[in-house]
Amino acid sequence: MPGADLLGGCACGIKTLKKLSSVNRRLESEVSIGEGDVIYPSMLDDALHGIPDIVDYRVSLGKHGNWDQLHFTIEMGTIQEDTEERVRERLIGVPVIGKNIRDGKMAEPELAFVKLGELPKSGRAKKLIADTR
């Protein structure tokens, strides 16, 4: 860096650098729902990957009448009888999603399940929420 002294600090006089916290979301992956609440993929990862047998998922945000609605395609190793109920509970348990459903600003998520290997790979390293509204 121009003007930097490796032992004494920066030419501007700063001797220490503050450490940044870890990145938990990217602006490009955020979408707003309801009246401005923000969701991002790591919220959904935390909810969904806690359920055994979920391998991967894709999510998009569309409309159901006047309401926002999340559409999930979920790849499962095995699908149990109560899988849909468990997934729905976990998603509604995400505070911002549950709040918007209770407040009548969002429809319940639409779920589709596919078998192992049936979900097309996106080729992206980071998961995004496709906004199709």
Outline where DSSP puts E strands in 9-132.
Answer: 9-10, 31-33, 37-39, 54-64, 67-76, 110-115, 129-131
Whether pTM exceeds 0.95: no
Give per-10-residue mean pLDDT for the chain (133 aa).
54 67 58 89 90 92 94 92 94 96 95 92 73 89
pLDDT value at residue 22: 56
State the Cα angle at 112 between 61 and 66, rounded to 5°.
Answer: 35
pLDDT value at residue 57: 93
CB 32 within 8 A of CB 96: no
pLDDT value at residue 56: 92
Distance between CA atoms of 89 and 85, rounded to whole angstroms? 6
pLDDT value at residue 78: 87
Q: What structural domains and CATH numbers belong to the chain?
A: 28-131 (3.30.300.30)
Give 68's contacts (C-beta < 8 A, 6+ positions apart).
Answer: 33, 34, 61, 62, 100, 105, 106, 107, 133
